[in-house]
Structure 1
Amino acid sequence: MNVPYHAGLPKVTVNGYSIRRRPNIIRTEMESGFPRMRRRSTSVLTDVTVNWKLKLSEFAIFEKWYAEDLKDGVSWFEIVLFNGMGESTVVARFNGTPYDAKPEALGMYWNVSATIEVQSLPLLA
Protein backbone atom coordinates (compact mmCIF):
# COMPACT_ATOMS: atom_id res chain seq x y z
CA MET A 1 0.00 0.00 0.00
CA ASN A 2 1.27 3.45 -0.93
CA VAL A 3 1.74 6.14 1.69
CA PRO A 4 -0.43 9.21 1.00
CA TYR A 5 1.24 12.58 0.48
CA HIS A 6 0.99 14.49 3.75
CA ALA A 7 -1.88 17.01 3.67
CA GLY A 8 0.25 19.52 5.63
CA LEU A 9 2.81 19.80 2.83
CA PRO A 10 2.61 22.08 -0.23
CA LYS A 11 2.98 20.89 -3.82
CA VAL A 12 6.44 20.76 -5.34
CA THR A 13 7.60 23.92 -7.08
CA VAL A 14 8.48 24.22 -10.78
CA ASN A 15 11.78 25.90 -9.91
CA GLY A 16 14.48 23.29 -10.64
CA TYR A 17 11.88 20.67 -11.63
CA SER A 18 13.06 18.16 -14.23
CA ILE A 19 12.00 14.81 -15.67
CA ARG A 20 14.46 12.20 -16.91
CA ARG A 21 13.19 8.90 -18.26
CA ARG A 22 15.58 6.02 -17.61
CA PRO A 23 17.06 4.20 -20.60
CA ASN A 24 14.96 1.26 -21.72
CA ILE A 25 16.83 0.05 -24.79
CA ILE A 26 19.20 -2.89 -25.16
CA ARG A 27 21.67 -2.42 -28.01
CA THR A 28 23.59 -5.39 -29.41
CA GLU A 29 26.44 -4.83 -31.80
CA MET A 30 26.33 -7.30 -34.68
CA GLU A 31 29.32 -8.87 -36.40
CA SER A 32 28.11 -7.25 -39.60
CA GLY A 33 25.32 -4.85 -40.35
CA PHE A 34 23.45 -2.47 -38.12
CA PRO A 35 23.29 -2.95 -34.33
CA ARG A 36 20.14 -4.63 -33.06
CA MET A 37 18.01 -2.61 -30.63
CA ARG A 38 15.07 -3.74 -28.57
CA ARG A 39 12.96 -2.59 -25.69
CA ARG A 40 14.11 -3.88 -22.29
CA SER A 41 10.75 -3.61 -20.47
CA THR A 42 7.25 -2.25 -20.88
CA SER A 43 7.47 -0.37 -17.58
CA VAL A 44 10.24 2.15 -16.97
CA LEU A 45 11.05 4.25 -13.93
CA THR A 46 11.37 8.00 -14.48
CA ASP A 47 13.63 10.16 -12.33
CA VAL A 48 12.07 13.47 -11.33
CA THR A 49 14.01 16.23 -9.58
CA VAL A 50 11.64 18.00 -7.20
CA ASN A 51 11.88 21.03 -4.92
CA TRP A 52 9.78 22.28 -2.07
CA LYS A 53 9.86 25.70 -0.42
CA LEU A 54 8.72 24.95 3.12
CA LYS A 55 7.93 27.08 6.13
CA LEU A 56 9.67 25.98 9.32
CA SER A 57 6.52 24.17 10.53
CA GLU A 58 6.10 22.43 7.15
CA PHE A 59 9.75 21.33 7.22
CA ALA A 60 9.14 19.69 10.60
CA ILE A 61 6.17 17.80 9.07
CA PHE A 62 8.32 16.83 6.06
CA GLU A 63 11.12 15.44 8.26
CA LYS A 64 8.65 13.31 10.25
CA TRP A 65 6.82 12.13 7.11
CA TYR A 66 10.12 11.15 5.44
CA ALA A 67 11.62 9.42 8.50
CA GLU A 68 8.57 7.63 9.89
CA ASP A 69 5.88 7.30 7.22
CA LEU A 70 8.30 6.70 4.32
CA LYS A 71 10.78 4.73 6.45
CA ASP A 72 13.65 7.05 5.49
CA GLY A 73 12.49 7.24 1.88
CA VAL A 74 12.13 3.51 1.20
CA SER A 75 8.32 3.36 0.91
CA TRP A 76 6.34 4.24 -2.20
CA PHE A 77 4.07 7.28 -1.83
CA GLU A 78 1.50 9.22 -3.83
CA ILE A 79 2.35 12.74 -5.00
CA VAL A 80 1.01 15.25 -7.52
CA LEU A 81 3.61 15.96 -10.22
CA PHE A 82 3.69 17.85 -13.52
CA ASN A 83 4.25 16.39 -16.97
CA GLY A 84 2.87 16.83 -20.48
CA MET A 85 -0.60 15.87 -19.22
CA GLY A 86 -0.60 18.68 -16.63
CA GLU A 87 -0.82 17.75 -12.95
CA SER A 88 -1.26 14.08 -12.14
CA THR A 89 -1.15 11.93 -9.02
CA VAL A 90 1.62 9.37 -9.40
CA VAL A 91 3.35 6.74 -7.26
CA ALA A 92 6.97 7.53 -6.37
CA ARG A 93 9.74 6.94 -3.86
CA PHE A 94 13.06 8.57 -3.07
CA ASN A 95 15.78 7.09 -5.28
CA GLY A 96 18.05 5.98 -2.45
CA THR A 97 19.64 9.38 -1.98
CA PRO A 98 18.22 11.42 0.91
CA TYR A 99 16.81 14.88 0.36
CA ASP A 100 18.93 18.04 0.59
CA ALA A 101 17.61 20.88 2.79
CA LYS A 102 18.97 24.43 2.91
CA PRO A 103 17.74 27.13 5.29
CA GLU A 104 16.64 30.53 4.06
CA ALA A 105 15.58 33.71 5.87
CA LEU A 106 17.26 32.79 9.17
CA GLY A 107 15.77 29.29 9.10
CA MET A 108 12.16 30.45 8.77
CA TYR A 109 11.98 28.82 5.31
CA TRP A 110 13.69 25.71 3.96
CA ASN A 111 14.46 24.81 0.35
CA VAL A 112 14.27 21.04 0.08
CA SER A 113 15.36 19.21 -3.07
CA ALA A 114 15.43 15.53 -3.95
CA THR A 115 15.34 13.10 -6.84
CA ILE A 116 12.44 10.68 -6.74
CA GLU A 117 11.71 7.74 -9.01
CA VAL A 118 8.22 7.52 -10.46
CA GLN A 119 6.59 4.25 -11.50
CA SER A 120 4.85 5.73 -14.52
CA LEU A 121 3.90 9.21 -15.65
CA PRO A 122 0.57 9.36 -17.48
CA LEU A 123 0.77 9.52 -21.28
CA LEU A 124 -1.60 10.87 -23.88
CA ALA A 125 -4.14 8.20 -24.79
Structure 2
Amino acid sequence: MNDYPSSLPPPQQRGYSCKIRPNMIRTQMADGHVRQRLVNTGAPHELAVTFMFTQTQYQEFMAWYRNDISFGQDWFRMKLLNEYGGTESVCRIQNGELSASLNCVNGEGPLWSVQCRLDMEPGSGSGSGGGGDEVWIDPEGWDELYAFIYVPYADTEPSWPGVKLEKNSQGYYVLSMELFSGIPCESTVEFHNNHGKYTYSIYLFEANDWPGRIIRVREYESEVEYVT
Protein backbone atom coordinates (compact mmCIF):
# COMPACT_ATOMS: atom_id res chain seq x y z
CA MET A 1 0.00 0.00 0.00
CA ASN A 2 1.31 3.42 -0.95
CA ASP A 3 1.84 6.37 1.38
CA TYR A 4 0.88 9.94 0.68
CA PRO A 5 4.20 11.66 -0.17
CA SER A 6 5.81 13.12 2.95
CA SER A 7 7.22 15.95 0.82
CA LEU A 8 3.69 17.28 0.13
CA PRO A 9 1.58 19.36 2.55
CA PRO A 10 -1.39 17.70 4.30
CA PRO A 11 -4.99 18.76 3.58
CA GLN A 12 -6.00 22.15 4.92
CA GLN A 13 -8.19 22.20 8.02
CA ARG A 14 -10.45 24.89 6.58
CA GLY A 15 -13.25 23.20 4.65
CA TYR A 16 -12.30 19.82 6.16
CA SER A 17 -15.52 17.87 6.84
CA CYS A 18 -16.19 14.24 7.70
CA LYS A 19 -19.42 12.31 7.06
CA ILE A 20 -19.83 9.18 9.20
CA ARG A 21 -22.10 6.67 7.50
CA PRO A 22 -22.66 3.31 9.20
CA ASN A 23 -24.72 0.86 7.13
CA MET A 24 -28.38 1.18 8.09
CA ILE A 25 -31.57 -0.47 6.85
CA ARG A 26 -34.65 1.77 7.11
CA THR A 27 -38.10 0.20 6.85
CA GLN A 28 -41.32 2.20 6.67
CA MET A 29 -43.87 0.76 9.13
CA ALA A 30 -47.66 0.73 8.69
CA ASP A 31 -48.17 3.09 11.64
CA GLY A 32 -46.01 5.76 10.05
CA HIS A 33 -42.89 5.08 12.08
CA VAL A 34 -39.64 4.13 10.41
CA ARG A 35 -37.68 1.18 11.73
CA GLN A 36 -33.94 1.71 11.56
CA ARG A 37 -31.52 -1.18 12.01
CA LEU A 38 -27.73 -1.07 12.13
CA VAL A 39 -26.18 -3.62 9.75
CA ASN A 40 -22.54 -2.90 10.48
CA THR A 41 -20.22 -0.03 11.39
CA GLY A 42 -17.50 -0.91 8.91
CA ALA A 43 -18.52 1.42 6.07
CA PRO A 44 -15.79 3.94 5.24
CA HIS A 45 -16.24 7.51 6.42
CA GLU A 46 -16.51 10.21 3.76
CA LEU A 47 -14.06 13.08 4.03
CA ALA A 48 -13.98 16.30 1.99
CA VAL A 49 -10.45 17.73 1.77
CA THR A 50 -8.63 20.60 0.08
CA PHE A 51 -4.92 20.68 -0.74
CA MET A 52 -2.90 23.80 -1.51
CA PHE A 53 0.12 23.21 -3.76
CA THR A 54 2.85 25.21 -5.41
CA GLN A 55 3.51 24.42 -9.06
CA THR A 56 6.22 21.87 -8.18
CA GLN A 57 4.08 20.26 -5.48
CA TYR A 58 1.10 20.09 -7.84
CA GLN A 59 3.19 18.28 -10.44
CA GLU A 60 4.48 15.83 -7.82
CA PHE A 61 0.95 15.18 -6.53
CA MET A 62 -0.44 14.51 -10.00
CA ALA A 63 2.44 12.14 -10.82
CA TRP A 64 1.76 10.25 -7.56
CA TYR A 65 -1.99 10.23 -8.33
CA ARG A 66 -1.50 8.77 -11.82
CA ASN A 67 1.36 6.35 -11.22
CA ASP A 68 1.27 5.27 -7.56
CA ILE A 69 -2.45 5.05 -6.77
CA SER A 70 -3.69 4.32 -10.32
CA PHE A 71 -5.72 7.50 -10.86
CA GLY A 72 -7.25 7.24 -7.38
CA GLN A 73 -8.27 3.58 -7.62
CA ASP A 74 -5.91 2.31 -4.90
CA TRP A 75 -5.99 2.71 -1.13
CA PHE A 76 -3.19 4.68 0.49
CA ARG A 77 -2.04 5.83 3.93
CA MET A 78 -2.19 9.48 4.97
CA LYS A 79 -2.19 11.33 8.29
CA LEU A 80 -5.68 12.77 8.83
CA LEU A 81 -7.69 14.31 11.61
CA ASN A 82 -10.37 12.12 13.21
CA GLU A 83 -11.78 11.41 16.66
CA TYR A 84 -8.38 10.08 17.75
CA GLY A 85 -6.53 13.25 16.74
CA GLY A 86 -4.05 13.39 13.90
CA THR A 87 -3.45 9.75 12.97
CA GLU A 88 -2.35 7.77 9.95
CA SER A 89 -5.46 6.52 8.19
CA VAL A 90 -6.20 4.28 5.22
CA CYS A 91 -8.11 6.09 2.49
CA ARG A 92 -8.77 6.40 -1.24
CA ILE A 93 -10.12 9.06 -3.59
CA GLN A 94 -13.81 8.55 -4.34
CA ASN A 95 -14.24 7.57 -7.99
CA GLY A 96 -10.73 8.92 -8.55
CA GLU A 97 -12.25 12.39 -9.04
CA LEU A 98 -10.23 15.56 -8.42
CA SER A 99 -11.09 19.22 -8.90
CA ALA A 100 -8.08 21.49 -9.47
CA SER A 101 -8.13 25.25 -9.80
CA LEU A 102 -5.51 27.98 -10.07
CA ASN A 103 -5.92 30.24 -7.05
CA CYS A 104 -3.38 32.90 -7.87
CA VAL A 105 0.10 33.60 -9.19
CA ASN A 106 2.45 35.27 -6.76
CA GLY A 107 6.15 35.98 -6.68
CA GLU A 108 6.90 32.29 -6.18
CA GLY A 109 4.73 31.19 -9.08
CA PRO A 110 1.26 29.54 -9.40
CA LEU A 111 -0.66 28.38 -6.33
CA TRP A 112 -3.03 25.46 -7.00
CA SER A 113 -6.07 24.28 -5.04
CA VAL A 114 -7.09 20.60 -5.31
CA GLN A 115 -10.38 19.33 -3.84
CA CYS A 116 -11.58 15.74 -3.55
CA ARG A 117 -13.63 13.41 -1.40
CA LEU A 118 -11.99 10.50 0.36
CA ASP A 119 -13.21 7.16 1.62
CA MET A 120 -11.51 6.75 5.00
CA GLU A 121 -11.55 3.48 6.88
CA PRO A 122 -12.88 4.24 10.39
CA GLY A 123 -10.14 4.09 12.98
CA SER A 124 -7.62 2.45 10.72
CA GLY A 125 -3.97 3.40 10.72
CA SER A 126 -1.32 3.51 13.42
CA GLY A 127 -2.28 5.14 16.69
CA SER A 128 -6.03 4.86 16.09
CA GLY A 129 -6.75 1.33 17.23
CA GLY A 130 -6.30 -0.35 13.87
CA GLY A 131 -2.54 0.08 13.63
CA GLY A 132 0.62 -0.50 15.57
CA ASP A 133 0.40 -3.92 17.19
CA GLU A 134 -3.29 -4.57 16.42
CA VAL A 135 -5.27 -6.18 13.61
CA TRP A 136 -8.96 -5.57 13.07
CA ILE A 137 -10.94 -8.60 11.89
CA ASP A 138 -14.30 -8.93 10.15
CA PRO A 139 -15.55 -12.55 10.30
CA GLU A 140 -18.72 -11.82 8.31
CA GLY A 141 -21.43 -12.23 10.91
CA TRP A 142 -19.92 -14.72 13.35
CA ASP A 143 -21.38 -14.23 16.81
CA GLU A 144 -18.01 -14.74 18.55
CA LEU A 145 -14.40 -14.94 17.43
CA TYR A 146 -11.46 -16.85 18.92
CA ALA A 147 -7.83 -17.11 17.87
CA PHE A 148 -6.45 -20.60 18.48
CA ILE A 149 -2.65 -20.68 18.10
CA TYR A 150 -1.00 -24.06 17.57
CA VAL A 151 2.75 -24.27 18.12
CA PRO A 152 4.30 -27.46 16.68
CA TYR A 153 6.82 -29.40 18.76
CA ALA A 154 5.69 -27.59 21.91
CA ASP A 155 5.93 -29.41 25.24
CA THR A 156 2.30 -28.71 26.04
CA GLU A 157 -0.80 -28.64 23.86
CA PRO A 158 -2.52 -25.24 23.52
CA SER A 159 -5.74 -24.81 25.45
CA TRP A 160 -8.92 -24.82 23.37
CA PRO A 161 -10.67 -22.57 22.35
CA GLY A 162 -7.71 -20.16 22.53
CA VAL A 163 -8.00 -16.41 23.03
CA LYS A 164 -11.44 -14.85 22.80
CA LEU A 165 -11.32 -11.60 20.82
CA GLU A 166 -13.40 -8.58 21.75
CA LYS A 167 -15.04 -6.01 19.48
CA ASN A 168 -13.95 -2.41 19.46
CA SER A 169 -16.18 0.66 19.13
CA GLN A 170 -16.11 0.34 15.34
CA GLY A 171 -17.56 -3.18 15.39
CA TYR A 172 -14.36 -5.06 14.46
CA TYR A 173 -12.76 -7.85 16.48
CA VAL A 174 -9.31 -6.83 17.72
CA LEU A 175 -6.31 -9.15 17.60
CA SER A 176 -3.18 -7.97 19.41
CA MET A 177 0.05 -9.00 17.71
CA GLU A 178 1.60 -9.30 21.18
CA LEU A 179 0.00 -12.76 21.28
CA PHE A 180 2.56 -13.91 18.71
CA SER A 181 5.62 -12.64 20.56
CA GLY A 182 8.28 -15.36 20.59
CA ILE A 183 6.15 -17.83 18.60
CA PRO A 184 8.01 -19.57 15.73
CA CYS A 185 6.86 -18.98 12.15
CA GLU A 186 6.00 -22.67 11.71
CA SER A 187 3.05 -22.12 14.04
CA THR A 188 -0.50 -21.65 12.79
CA VAL A 189 -3.52 -19.66 13.89
CA GLU A 190 -7.11 -20.76 13.43
CA PHE A 191 -10.01 -18.34 13.79
CA HIS A 192 -13.30 -19.85 14.95
CA ASN A 193 -16.51 -18.97 16.78
CA ASN A 194 -16.48 -21.97 19.18
CA HIS A 195 -19.79 -23.09 17.66
CA GLY A 196 -18.69 -25.01 14.57
CA LYS A 197 -17.50 -22.21 12.30
CA TYR A 198 -13.75 -22.11 11.74
CA THR A 199 -11.01 -21.34 9.24
CA TYR A 200 -8.29 -23.68 8.13
CA SER A 201 -5.01 -22.92 9.84
CA ILE A 202 -3.12 -19.86 8.62
CA TYR A 203 0.66 -19.82 8.83
CA LEU A 204 1.99 -17.20 11.18
CA PHE A 205 4.76 -16.07 8.89
CA GLU A 206 2.03 -14.19 7.03
CA ALA A 207 1.28 -12.25 10.20
CA ASN A 208 4.01 -9.74 9.35
CA ASP A 209 1.59 -8.35 6.78
CA TRP A 210 -1.27 -7.97 9.25
CA PRO A 211 -0.45 -5.14 11.71
CA GLY A 212 -2.48 -2.03 11.07
CA ARG A 213 -4.76 -3.78 8.59
CA ILE A 214 -8.40 -4.74 8.50
CA ILE A 215 -8.72 -8.37 7.41
CA ARG A 216 -11.69 -10.61 6.65
CA VAL A 217 -11.77 -14.30 7.51
CA ARG A 218 -14.28 -16.79 6.11
CA GLU A 219 -15.38 -20.24 7.15
CA TYR A 220 -13.11 -23.04 5.84
CA GLU A 221 -10.76 -20.57 4.12
CA SER A 222 -7.00 -20.86 4.60
CA GLU A 223 -6.08 -17.28 3.63
CA VAL A 224 -7.23 -13.91 4.89
CA GLU A 225 -8.60 -11.16 2.67
CA TYR A 226 -7.18 -7.69 3.17
CA VAL A 227 -10.03 -5.19 3.36
CA THR A 228 -7.52 -2.34 3.48
Give the TM-score taking structure 1 as reference length: 0.87
Counterpart mapping for 1:47-58 below 5 A: 47-58=46-57
Query: Structure 1 stretch 115-124 or stretch 84-93: which is displaced more?
Result: 115-124
Runs of 5+ unmatched residues, structure 1:
none
- Deviations along 1:21-74, whole A, 9 cap, x unmatched? 125211223345854321122302111001111111100000000011010000
Contact 1:8-1:61 at 8 Å conserved across structures = no
Percent of pairs with identical residues: 27
Runs of 5+ unmatched residues, structure 2:
130-167, 170-228
Query: Structure 1 stretch 49-58 or stretch 81-90: which is displaced more?
Result: 81-90
CA distance, structure 1, for counterparts of residue 22 and residue 111 of structure 2:
36
Q: Which one-letter code corresponds to 1:29 in the other structure?
A: Q
Alpha-carbon RMSD across the aligned residues, in angstroms, is 2.1
CA distance, structure 1, for counterparts of residue 118 and residue 41 of structure 2:
20
Counterpart mapping for 1:76-95 below 5 A: 76-95=75-94
Once the two structures are TM-superposed, the CA of residue 84 in structure 1 deviates from its matched residue by 2.6
Once the two structures are TM-superposed, the CA of residue 104 in structure 1 deviates from its matched residue by 2.4
Larger Rg over CA atoms: 2
Task: Answer 1 or 2: higher relative contact order, Cα 8 Å, separation at least 6.
Answer: 1
Query: Structure 1 stretch 67-76 or stretch 14-23: which is displaced more?
Result: 14-23
Counterpart mapping for 1:7-46 below 5 A: 7-32=6-31, 34-46=33-45
Give the TM-score taking structure 2 as reference length: 0.50
Which one has a larger percent strand, Structure 1 or Structure 2? Answer: 1
Tell me, yes or no, if structure 1 residue 67 matches structure 2 residue 77: no
Contact 1:3-1:70 at 8 Å conserved across structures = yes
